[in-house]
Structure 1
């Protein structure tokens, strides 16, 4: 990661402007000849609607709200990061890709509107490399180069995760990465293409040019070249520039990460009661993944919950506690694989798993009480309860979760297992048959016991 990928998180001061209760949807003037003017205040309303929808697990509507907000304020990286997190949740819940009608409702005749629509379509189909490339292309056309540079590594990761990747897809992504200054990604793709075609001398030469471009961007050549004596100064400082580039190649994006953390930390310390700042600071600490940063993130979220009353911060703090137990349990299992006869390790693993399940039960039950209409949370609680042997409680959660169409098969299958555990085999068979009858294309690979 280079300095190109520095993200300016907090660009605008909040305006003291009264807001209508309903946000407006138009992003700019209908004519492309009119310069786009961001409307952060109006966008903020959409983002708040999106957060509220996400808190109740209405992820579909939440993504729609964020897309409408991005159409008004496309450079809000806080919103982009929140939307990306939502997209991952939406994917894990089995959310469906956007329909043409949904995409059309976001898009308009402006390049920004088309960019927002392309991002929306991709977020609803996060693993689709075609949608990812369309979003990146739309970003370039809308002059959202910083977003493109920021998102390029994730898009490359998605493309590489595919079972088969065509040369044309890689070539297209390489060109797009070049346009947003994502030199590391462009070079990585170029090297892959060169491995597929070692005799491609033109590509080999282009890779050298890209490496030079990356070095110039990092070393400041282009800036120096426009100044009197700039080129000579650049050559004179070549050794220092080379040290800089070598240092960055060793530590990848560590310095960038530190700068991002410090920037967000400064905003948090200035006013730790702003929800956007709390979310941003907690998120960046959590992503670092160290024991210290996770502890800090937990404290930031809990203080945010106490200061703002927004339950999402309490929820995020709970997730950190759960994830900590999960990591400890995984580490114990790895030790057990190397020492399968170690009874002490087995005992520790059983004890830790029991603690994890009880923590999950406590956390998920509180969330169900907070969001009683959220059937996904009820299903989540039911899966923990059945592991704890609380069959009656699990059955109640699965019975309610079955009313959610997207959970009908999984909840019915789980309810059947509960009936079987209780010895109610007739009821179990009935549930399995009902679940089998409702399997669609997305569930065909599911095996019902």
Structure 2
């Protein structure tokens, strides 16, 4: 029932290639317009549906609101199930890809069609929209177990336990899934033959080596060669693709790493951790491009096209900042209660000099104890940039009081406190903050010079 890319009609293959390019360029609405007709005509093209949903999610996350509920869609009552699915794609998912009731309808229809992969996709989509809803995640894990995909079930159960360490059913489910996975890997639960068992064993050994710490460059290159060989045998193996991306990144071949991270996302668009890793690598690649351009400009300031290069550099920086903000905003839209995502958005706004927009995000981020100090520090910097120095001083002072140990973070906060106190003409508070650093770390920045000069 699953349709592969190679089985698409020529006209659809052309649209598909354009759609992938649009996704790579983050032109989400255009990607939707290209991939939607394919999915409607080829409902079994699951890879296309995954890309479509990702593009829809990014598109609505870019500013438009979407719900997680809503009433039942009337199209679900159509006699022809494929027509009902097409109507859901056309009339619901474009505007509200994470709509729970619509995705539940898609799940029910897929199960009636005996299409468990599509049913799982519907549940995974709900999970993307509500990543903290453990009840929905239990349904997904049960589905995977019922259709003999225990490794996927185990991943879901682990995610549940991470959210709720007291969930005994999830703990038991994870153990059951691990046991079932072991049976399947050894070929005991089906007609698996020796070659299949050996292949799985070899891949497991490679994955174990991948997680090994302290590998030499030669070992890393050898490991990469093994995964390239596996990839050439099966280009849809998500483990091989992710492993290659990781190894290319370790070898500092950032462009190759980014290419495979992007491809991995097309195979598993619902992997939130993979999304964040991909964006981190993309950011690193863009940073290198900026550094290269800066070096060119600094090394040859009299070049005839120097102004053109400076303008190009400024535009790249602007696009980068805008892209990061869009990504962070989309993640917040998908999970508005995640304070860590609020911090990321606040930091993106700060880096783009959008200090007013950053403030409310950082104020919300403060409620997460794991990032509270970072949020307070950045919040103080926002106030200082807006010349609201009294509020900045208060933020730095509060953050400093919450840190009992003089670590690098506290030194940074105290230094910021000193600088803003100096701006306000409060010499006593300025020196008090610097002396606190001086007593702990003589060599920190220019603290010694500032403190000692006050005695001369």
Global fold match (TM > 0.5): no
- Length-normalised TM-score, structure 1: 0.43
